Amino acid sequence: MKKSLKKAVGISLCAAIALQLAACGGSKKAEAVDLNAASLDKIIEEAKKEGKLESVGMPGSWANWQGTWDGIEAEYGIEHNDTDMSSGEEIAMFEAEKNAPTKDIGDVGHKFGPEAKEKGVTQSYKTSYWDSVPDWAKDPDGHWMIAYTGATTFITNTDLVSNPPKSWDDVRKGDYKLTIGDVVTGATGQGNVLATAYAFGGDMDNLEPAFEFWKEMAKAGRIDQGDILLQRIQAGEVEVGVTWSYNALTYRDQTPNYKFDVCVPSDGSIMSGYASIINKYAPHPYAAALAREYIFSDKGQTNLAIAGAIPTRTDFVVPQEIQDKTIPQEQTKNSVPVTDPAKYAEVCEKIAQTWQEEIIPLMSQ
């Protein structure tokens, strides 16, 4: 699963790869280009010449990225490859590989967009849909743009758990294990922890109810330390998983060998988005810009909606036939939207630190 795949390239490995490439005369450091100064026709022309696109953290099973990659290849002849990793690992790779870049574009949790810009590893491209993207969903200079949001969602294997939870309170009363993803470096896991703060009377300024709940879960041995991966779900290794709405629906639809219940927890859910970041050192910068352009197009927003994601563009209407197949809006009406990335970043940092210092040690007792 994107954002927490520890078998994928880790931060230290990113640095090692970069050093190795540099030592071996790997990819030459890309010259920065002014993507905003180029017309869309110019971007398309140059992207076709580049012919390749290397992404990180944008696997086909996440938010129906496969539909977008297939569309870009069919329309422009651009081949695509993805290396899955967490938001923090994506930024680390961009930084580590700056002298021998191999990656073009990534997709990171909301709070990681400003962090990537601050580290100086991104370049700007505003797309022709700039004006229809809310201010909270984009960097003023175009260094990151959120194309979609999702709500905290349970996916329960009902062949393994006979009474699927509808709330975090139900989870607390259960006896099954919960799979929530990487909380130390992954945006999904951190968002899941924040959702439990709201469930038990807290909020961004009061995370103690969340930590109390997760300490209780850790002591009871109910936290699955594995990642919430499609492969694990298909293998029946996940009893109850917590992820974004679009992933839960995709995982359900791609696992015909089991039956699932998918729902937004009634007592605690946040709604957060993921932002595309274009590598400042991208070896295929025009292909990266074209990918962002396509993601915000009607075709790209439709692809995201098919997975159950909520498109960001204010002038885009999700076709009714797609709405009918995804999570009912009634379930997400009380989800708390995350619109302040700076505040969210502070909260996620505290969640990651507390998880590492106080929750993880309880798992091994």
Tokens coding 46 = 């140059």
328 band by pLDDT with thresholds 50, 70 and 90? confident
Q: Is the pLDDT of residue 279 over 90?
A: yes
- Going by C-beta distance under 8 Å and a sequence separation of 6 or more, which residues neighbour residue 68? 291, 294, 295, 299, 300, 303, 304
Q: Where are the domains of the chain?
A: 11-149+273-323, 150-271+336-363
DSSP track, 20-57:
HHHHTT-SPPPPP--GGGS-HHHHHHHHHHH-EEEEES
Same fold, 11-149+273-323 and 150-271+336-363: yes
Which DSSP symbol is given to 355?
I
222 band by pLDDT with thresholds 50, 70 and 90? very high
Q: Is the pLDDT of residue 5 over 80?
A: no
364 band by pLDDT with thresholds 50, 70 and 90? confident
Instruction: Provide the percentage of residues in the chain whose pLDDT is more than 90.
Output: 80
294 band by pLDDT with thresholds 50, 70 and 90? very high
Angle of helix 65-76 relative to helix 298-306, nearest 10 degrees, comes to 150
**Of the candidates 192, 153, 199, which has an alpha carbon nearest to the alpha carbon of residue 172?**
199
Q: Is the pLDDT of residue 355 over 50?
A: yes
pLDDT value at position 171? 98
User: Minimum mean pLDDT among 138-142, 223-227, 321-325: which range?
Assistant: 321-325
User: Minimum mean pLDDT among 17-26, 102-111, 242-251: which range?
Assistant: 17-26
Ranges assigned E (strand) in the chain: 52-56, 79-83, 105-109, 122-123, 144-157, 178-179, 240-244, 260-263, 270-279, 310-311, 336-337
pLDDT value at position 113? 94
Q: Is the pLDDT of residue 176 over 70?
A: yes
Q: Across the chain, how many H-helices and E-strands are there?
A: 16, 11
Homologous superfamily of 150-271+336-363: Periplasmic binding protein-like II (3.40.190.10)
Contact between 205 and 196 (Cβ < 8 Å): no
pLDDT value at position 29? 59
28 band by pLDDT with thresholds 50, 70 and 90? low
Q: Is the pLDDT of residue 220 over 80?
A: yes
β-pairing, 240-244 vs 260-263, is unpaired
What pLDDT, in 10s, does the model give residues 56-103? Answer: 999 998 999 999 999 999 999 999 999 999 999 999 999 999 999 999
How far is C-alpha 7 from the geometric centre of its chain's CA atoms? 17
Higher-pLDDT residue of 192, 333:
192
Q: Is the pLDDT of residue 333 over 80?
A: yes
- Phi/psi at 106 (5° precision): -135, 175
β-pairing, 336-337 vs 270-279, is parallel
Indicate the residue type of 185: T
pLDDT value at position 30? 57
Which of helix, strand or coil describes residue 356? helix
329 band by pLDDT with thresholds 50, 70 and 90? confident
> In angstroms, rounded to a whole number, what is the distance separating the alpha carbons of residues 283 and 275?
20
pLDDT value at position 187? 86
Which of helix, strand or coil describes residue 314? coil
User: Minimum mean pLDDT among 191-195, 228-232, 283-287: which range?
Assistant: 228-232
Homologous superfamily of 11-149+273-323: Periplasmic binding protein-like II (3.40.190.10)
> In angstroms, rounded to a whole number, what is the distance separating the alpha carbons of residues 272 and 339?
8
* Across 205-210, average pLDDT: 98
DSSP track, 71-109:
HHHHHH--EEEEE---HHHHHHHHHHTTTS----EEEEE
